[in-house]
Structure 1
Amino acid sequence: MELPLEITYRNLTKNETIDSLVREQVEKLEKVCDHINSCRVAVEKEHENPETGSPYRVRIDLTVKRGHEIAVDKNSGKNRQYEALQPLIKDAFKAARRQLLELTERQRNEVKQH
C-alpha cells in the first residue's frame, strides 16, 4: 500500500483486527482510483445512549488529486443497524467507494476531447 494512511482511535483501544480491515478496505479503494493522495480514518466509540443505538462512528477523509476531497461519516443510528464495528466500517468504505467512482467518472467527462 503506497497510500498514506492514518487510523485514529477515539475512546477505543487500538485494535490490530480493525487496522487490518481498514487497510484491506483502503486497498480496494486504490483499485478504483489510483490518484488518492491520503486517507484518514477515525474510529470512535461515542457514549452509549439507548435512544441513539450502538455507540460506534466511523469517519473517512480522502484527498484526491486535483484538489478534491471525499468525506464519509457513518454511525449506527437509532435503528441499531450495526451492533458490531466491522460491518459499520465496511459500509462506510462502500459509501466512500461510491463517491470515489462518481468523482472519477466526473473527472473523465471533464477531459476535453480534441
Structure 2
Amino acid sequence: MQVPLEVTYRDVPKTDAIEALVQGKVARLERVCDHISSCHIAIEKAHDRPSNGSPYRVRIDLTVPPGHELAAVENPGEGTQYEPLEVVIRDTFAAAERQLKELNERQHDQVKAHPTQSVTGIITQLFPEEGYGFLKTLEGQEIYFHRNSVLQNDYDRLAIGTGVHFFVEEGEEGPQASTVKIVDKPGAHVPESSEAEEIEPPLGWQQ
C-alpha cells in the first residue's frame, strides 16, 4: 500500500476486521487512482441510541495532486436505523471511488481536448517524500509532475538541474508533465543546497 493512510476512531472499537476492511478498500481506491497523496478516514459513533438513522458516521478525505481535495461522508438517516458499521464504511468508500472515477474522466476529457506537446526542460524542485516535483520549460514555464510520470522508474535519479524531455498534458489544475525522460546528467546527485542556476544546463537551455 502506497497511500499515506491515517485512520481515526471515535467511540468505536478498533478491530482486526474493521482494519482489514479499510485496508482492502484503500487498496481498491489505489487501483482507481495510483497517485493519491494522502487519505484520512474518520470512523465514529455519533449516537448511542439514535431515535432514527444509524449511530455511525464515516468520512474519507483524499488529496490528489496537483491540488484536488475529495471528501465522502456517510451518516445514514431515517429508514436505515442501526445499519452495521461495515455497511456504512463500504458505502463511504463507494462514494469516494465514484468521485475518483469522475475526476479521472474529467482529466481524460480535458487532455483529449488539448493535444500533447513535446517539450524539453530542467528540474527545478523535488519533493521525494511526497513523490512529485516541478520542472521549467525552455520558455520559463514551471510545470508539475508526479513520480509515476517518470519513465523507467527514474524518479529517484532526478536532481535539481537534471535535463528532461516530456509531454505536456492539460489537467484540471492546469498543465502537467507526463512521460518524463532524463536526457541530461542521468543519475546526477546534486547537493540539496544547490540551485538550478549553478548547474550546467542541458543543450539548448536558456534562462
TM-score over 0.5 for the alignment? Answer: yes
Contact 2:53/2:76, CA 8 A, preserved across alignment? yes
Match of 2:71 in 1: 71
Alignment of 1:13-32 (within 5 A): 13-32=13-32
Structure (1 or 2) with the greater strand fraction: 2
- For 1:61 and 1:4, the matched residues in 2 are separated by 12
Residue identity (%): 54
Q: Deviations over 1:3-41 (max 9, x none)?
A: 111110011122221111001001001101111111111
Asked whether 1:113 is paired with 2:118, we answer: no
Q: Alignment partner of 1:36: what SS?
A: coil
Compare relative contact order (CA 8 Å, sep 6+) and give the higher one, 1 or 2: 1
Structure 1 residue runs without a partner (length 5+) = none
Q: Alignment partner of 1:77: what SS?
A: coil
Match of 2:202 in 1: none
- For 2:77 and 2:48, the matched residues in 1 are separated by 11
Contact 1:82/1:88, CA 8 A, preserved across alignment? no
Contact 1:7/1:19, CA 8 A, preserved across alignment? no
Amino acid corresponding to residue 16 of structure 2 in structure 1: E
TM-score by length of structure 1 reads 0.92
TM-score by length of structure 2 reads 0.52
- For 1:44 and 1:81, the matched residues in 2 are separated by 16
Structure (1 or 2) with the greater helix fraction: 1
Q: Alignment partner of 1:78: what SS?
A: coil
Contact 1:54/1:83, CA 8 A, preserved across alignment? yes
Contact 2:54/2:80, CA 8 A, preserved across alignment? yes
Over aligned residues, Cα RMSD in angstroms? 1.4
- Greater gyration radius: 2
Deviates more, 1:7-16 or 1:25-34: 7-16
In structure 2, do the counterparts of structure 1 residues 61 and 68 end up closer, same or farther at CA, with 3 Å as the change threshold? same
Match of 1:6 in 2: 6
